[in-house]
Amino acid sequence: MPASPQAAIEVQALVKRFPGIVAVDRLTFDVRPGEIFGLVGPDGAGKTTTLRMLAGVMPPDEGTARVAGLDVARDPEGVKHQISYMPQRFGLYEDLTVEENIRFYADLFGVRRREREERAARLLAASGMSEFRDRLAGKLSGGMKQKLGLTCALVHTPRVILLDEPTTGVDPVSRRDFWRILYSLIAEGVTILTSTAYLDEAERCHRVALMHNGRLLMCDTPALLKARLPAEAVVSIVTADPRAARDAVEQAEGVLGLRLAGDQVRLGVDDGPRRIPQLRTRLETAGVPVEEIGMVQPTLEDLFVATVEGRVSAGA
């Protein structure tokens, strides 16, 4: 689908090298206008480096990237005017109030005074921070700091927003508020590229690019990615004694992988409907109390592990 040149991001065989390491290794993907796109991967996958290149603050070594129709290597300053970039270490002034921080960033971005007040009021209301206008930024909780950071980054109405792990370390309630803001921005026609190491957060994006060691593993909607776990089914055994359950089933036929997770044992099996009765028998014979046993939806984590372990082929 051809991307509208004004709002999309196009990355083509992008490369960035540092001494001894290829941080971004021939990365290729597109972000469609109005989409929330996730760059997903563990620390060291190349997410921050990619975002820096797209924000025009770090030149690529090879390949091309266009943001809002502009080439990041040829016109980085042009790119910076079209976008908002919120890096991980975001610069809030701890001894200024919420309101003063917003005013500072509005001035920095050259936002006209009247627009700025109206916009700030809307953003603060959307993030539930209106009553904290006069609170010193240094006194805000982690989650609120992130929301303020986002508010400051958005004060000049960019068309494209680049966020680097904006919710790392933030509690789930603040995270939901944060995502509510992102979804409302999409409704206004903004395009968002966000990076995350939280696989459960990746599920909230419209499409994701899974990255590992600088490379793209795969790129699609979360649902379609998970559908790539083929013959393998994921079975969960909920039990009061997960270790005994593990001992009872780890050698069973058809079990491809197993891990303990809290109050359950999660198994990758070759054929769920066929193996579940067999597993149940094994558990009964071993006297293991089973609360539930059944197939469960695979998560992006199951997919990631299966891909890195070679049980699912990578490829966009």
Partner 1 sequence: MSNGNDNSVVVEKLVKRFGDFTAVDGISLETRKGEIFGFLGPNGAGKSTTIRMLCGLLKPTAGRAMVAGFDVAREPERVRQNIGYMSQKFSLYNDLRVIENLRLFAGLYSVPLAVTDARIEWALEMASLADRRTAITAELAGGWKQRLALGCAVLHRPPVLFLDEPTSGVDPISRRAFWDLIHHMAEEGVTVFVTTHYMEEAEYCNRLALIYRGRMVALGTPNELKQRHMKGELLFIEAEPLGPALEAVESAPDVLDAAVFGNALHVVVEDAAAMQARLRAYLEARNVRVSAVEPIRPSLEDVFVSLTTGFNGNGKGKAT
Two structure tokens written together for 126: 């959307």
Across 29-65, b (16+ Cβ under 10 Å) vs e yields: bbbbbbbbbbbbbeeebbbbbbbbbbbbebebeebeb
Q: Is 34 in the site for partner 1 (CB under 8 A)?
A: no
Which of 244, 308, 311, 314 binds partner 1 (CB under 8 A)? It is 308
Q: Give least dist CB 238 to partner 1, A.
A: 5
Residue 290: partners with Cβ closer than 8 Å, 6 or more residues away? 237, 238, 239, 245, 280, 283, 284
Nearer CB in complex with partner 1: 64/168? 168
> Shortest distance, CB of residue 81 to partner 1, whole angstroms?
28
User: Does the protein bind partner 1 through residue 243 (CB under 8 A)?
Assistant: yes
**Do 133 and 99 touch, CB atoms closer than 8 A?**
yes
Provide the terminal-to-terminal Cα distance of the chain, rounded to the nearest Å: 15
Q: Are the beta carbons of 255 and 267 closer than 8 angstroms? A: yes
Q: Are 42 and 66 in contact (CB under 8 A)?
A: no
Q: Is 313 in the site for partner 1 (CB under 8 A)?
A: no
Residues in 279-298 that interact with partner 1 by CB under 8 A: 291-292
Q: Which is nearer to partner 1, 174 or 191 (CB)?
A: 174
Residue 197 contacts residue 42 (beta carbons within 8 Å): yes
Interface map 160-189 toward partner 1 (x if CB under 8 A): --------xxxxxxx-xx-xx--x---x--
Check binding of 242 to partner 1 (CB under 8 A): yes
Q: Which of residues 188-227 bind partner 1 (CB under 8 A)?
A: 197-200, 203-206, 212, 221-223
Nearer to partner 1, 88 or 97 (CB): 88
Asked if 132 interacts with partner 1 (CB under 8 A), we say no
Q: 134 is written with which tokens?
A: 């006069």
Q: Which residue has the tokens 């009061």?
A: 240
What is the binding site for partner 1 (CB under 8 A)? 41-45, 128, 141-143, 168-174, 176-177, 179-180, 183, 187, 197-200, 203-206, 212, 221-223, 238, 240, 242-243, 259-264, 291-292, 301, 304-305, 308-309
